[in-house]
Amino acid sequence: MAEFDYDLFVIGAGSGGVRASRIAASHGAKVAVAEEFRVGGTCVIRGCVPKKLLVYGSHFAEDLADARRFGWDTSGATFDWPTLRDNVAAEVDRLEGLYGQTLGNAKVEVFRERAVVAGPNMVQLASGRTITAANILIATGAWPGQPPIPGAELGITSNEVFHLPALPRRAVIAGAGYIANEFAGIFNELGVEVTLATRGDKMLRSYDQEIVGKLLDISRHKGIDVRLNFPFRAVTRQADGSLLVDGGDAGPIETDLVLWAIGRVPNTKGLGLEAAGIALDGEGAVVVDAYNRTNVPSIYAVGDVTNRVQLTPVAIREGHAFADTVFGNNPRTIDYSAIPTAVFSNPPIAGVGPTEDEARALYPELKVYRSDFRAMKNVLADRPERALYKMLVDGATDRVVGLHLIGPDSAEILQAAAIAVKAGLTKAQFDDTVALHPSMAEELVLMR
């Protein structure tokens, strides 16, 4: 190994890169990682973590309103955006520090600058220095996309949304995926007039559409103006400083903020990959095999940059499996089946396994169980919205193959239930489990 500066050089200290660095070092490898922005990556700095904290922060609006029915006098309660924004930013700073410490404790050297691939065993740092490594891991994540229309630059993306100087009076959120629905919920609760507009005819395409239909109804009931089939043609700044979104036949929308949430593009531009001969797919994602190896044998890639499943727990698993495979003498691949996922909309959606439409094609004897109910807390709060739980069962084997939920705390409930789906448990085994009463989760063992 002495012919190289490092056994492993990782580009990108996000979810996948940090885990891979730490585990490779624990297997005895000499490791360095380069990070051009902030250690921790998208999830910690401008993704999952600050987003979830804003979800909590914004939900107090409804909680405080509901509290009155439970006897509390909440008059005089006010909201201050800078306080929430700055407290969230401080928590992100704290976590960034912990990630740095973890790398330091693991004896991983951190270069706080951009790195690009300069050859099968060489990277170049922004400062000009070149470094050699027996193996290179590309873990550069993804970048928010913007549509190729005039005025797109007048909008912001999830990169900027956590730092708004003030909340806008009105916001147009473009897209109908994860980020769009999560920020529609956050902004709506914080009193912003939200329009969620997407060019397609569906929201959250990969989720069970009956569950998504419920979210659509509840979102509209909460005052979110959801526009499907909305073509974004252009954005212009008006004389009074507001923005005008040109939607062609769907009409213009006047707003104060445009948030692009139209998908995240693998971060491979200018990374030296073409020059190094690394194969990319049509969307610019690094092509890898099941062991995360590219077509150049010394170069690997994990996480969003490979555009397989753009989720933190998946990037972490891929990074870990890569390190075990290459440095731990333990070749491992990831099982991508039955990955539980959630959208932290208001209310949240969570699902595991195929949707009902997908399951119908896979299991000819599919049985669908439903529980459509109003959470006890919502009943007393006089809040009309209902929850919906769906269980998909393969009639041939009685196995529960999918669960799809919308309702309070559905992500928390699904994580535990997903273990049963992953383990291949049957409907009879769910039914054998005594209900935990009173809870929402008990619906899962009471479906008839």
Ligand X SMILES: Cc1cc2nc3c(=O)[nH]c(=O)nc-3n(C[C@H](O)[C@H](O)[C@H](O)COP(=O)(O)OP(=O)(O)OC[C@H]3O[C@@H](n4cnc5c(N)ncnc54)[C@H](O)[C@@H]3O)c2cc1C
Ligand Y SMILES: NC(=O)c1ccc[n+]([C@@H]2O[C@H](COP(=O)([O-])OP(=O)(O)OC[C@H]3O[C@@H](n4cnc5c(N)ncnc54)[C@H](O)[C@@H]3O)[C@@H](O)[C@H]2O)c1
Catalytic residues: 437
Residue 304 touches ligand X, criterion: CB under 6 A: yes
- Decide: 414 and 403 in contact? Cβ < 8 Å: yes
Binding partner selected for residue 343 from ligand Y, ligand X, none, CB under the kind-specific 5 to 8 Å limit: ligand Y
Residue 178 touches ligand Y, criterion: CB under 6 A: yes
DSSP string spanning 271-340?
A: SSTTTTT--B-TTSPBP--TTSB-SSTTEEE-GGGG-S---HHHHHHHHHHHHHHHHSS-------TT--
> Dihedral of CA 56/60/66/71: which sign?
positive
181 annotated as belonging to a binding site for a ligand: yes
Q: Looking at 43, 235, 273, 334, which residue binds ligand X (CB under 6 A)?
A: 43
Residues from 38 through 97 that contact ligand Y (CB under 6 A)? none
First to last CA, the chain: 62
Q: How far apart are the C-alpha atoms of 71 and 210, rounded to whole Å?
A: 35
Chain position carrying tokens 């049957």? 426
Compute the C-alpha angle 141/144/145, nearest 5°.
125
178 annotated as belonging to a binding site for a ligand: yes
Binding partner selected for residue 173 from ligand X, ligand Y, none, CB under the kind-specific 5 to 8 Å limit: none
Q: Total residues contacting ligand X (rule CB under 6 A)?
A: 35
Q: How far apart are the C-alpha atoms of 260 and 439, rounded to whole Å?
A: 37
* Nearest distance, CB of residue 27 and ligand Y, angstroms: 29
* Nearest distance, CB of residue 17 and ligand X, angstroms: 5
Residue 47 touches ligand X, criterion: CB under 6 A: yes
Which C-beta is closer to ligand X: that of 119 or that of 231?
Answer: 119
CB count, 10 Å around CB of 75? 7
Q: Looking at 48, 65, 234, 280, which residue binds ligand X (CB under 6 A)?
A: 48
The residue range among 90-98, 103-111, 164-172, 179-187 that interacts with ligand Y, by the rule CB under 6 A, is 179-187
Binding partner selected for residue 36 from ligand X, ligand Y, none, CB under the kind-specific 5 to 8 Å limit: ligand X
Cβ-based burial of 248 (10 A; exposed 0-12, middle 13-18, buried ≥19): exposed
Residue 145 touches ligand X, criterion: CB under 6 A: no
* Nearest distance, CB of residue 90 and ligand Y, angstroms: 22
Binding partner selected for residue 17 from ligand Y, ligand X, none, CB under the kind-specific 5 to 8 Å limit: ligand X
> Dihedral of CA 119/120/126/132: which sign?
negative
Strands 387-394 and 399-406: antiparallel
Residues from 344 through 373 that contact ligand Y (CB under 6 A)? 344
Residue 17 touches ligand X, criterion: CB under 6 A: yes
Residue 414 touches ligand Y, criterion: CB under 6 A: no
Q: How far apart are the C-alpha atoms of 214 and 95, rounded to whole Å?
A: 35
Residue 41 touches ligand X, criterion: CB under 6 A: yes
282 annotated as belonging to a binding site for a ligand: no
- CA nearest 259: which of 344, 340, 182, 324? 182
Q: State which residue has the least CB distance to ligand Y.
A: 177
Binding partner selected for residue 139 from ligand X, ligand Y, none, CB under the kind-specific 5 to 8 Å limit: ligand X
Over the window 50 to 69, marking each residue x when it contacts ligand X by CB under 6 A and - when it does not, the resulting string is: -x------------------
Q: Looking at 176, 305, 418, 444, which residue binds ligand Y (CB under 6 A)?
A: 176
Q: How far apart are the C-alpha atoms of 46 and 53, rounded to whole Å?
A: 11
Q: Looking at 115, 116, 261, 299, which residue binds ligand Y (CB under 6 A)?
A: 261
Binding partner selected for residue 31 from ligand X, ligand Y, none, CB under the kind-specific 5 to 8 Å limit: none
Which C-beta is closer to ligand X: that of 344 or that of 430?
Answer: 344
Residue 28 CA to chain centroid, in angstroms? 32
- CA nearest 53: which of 11, 86, 17? 86
Compute the C-alpha angle 269/272/274, nearest 5°.
85
- Decide: 350 and 311 in contact? Cβ < 8 Å: no
SS3 of 28-73: CCCEEEECCCCCCHHHHHHCHHHHHHHHHHHHHHHHHHHHHHHCCC
**Can you say which residues are annotated as belonging to the binding site?**
52, 175-182, 263, 304
Residues that bind ligand X (CB under 6 A): 11-17, 34-37, 41-43, 47-48, 51, 114-116, 139-141, 158, 179, 267, 271, 303-305, 310-313, 315
Going by the annotation, the residues of the binding site for FAD are 52, 304
Mark the binding-site residues for NAD(+), compressed into ranges: 175-182, 263
Binding residues for ligand Y (CB under 6 A): 147, 174-180, 182, 198-200, 232, 261-264, 310-311, 341-344
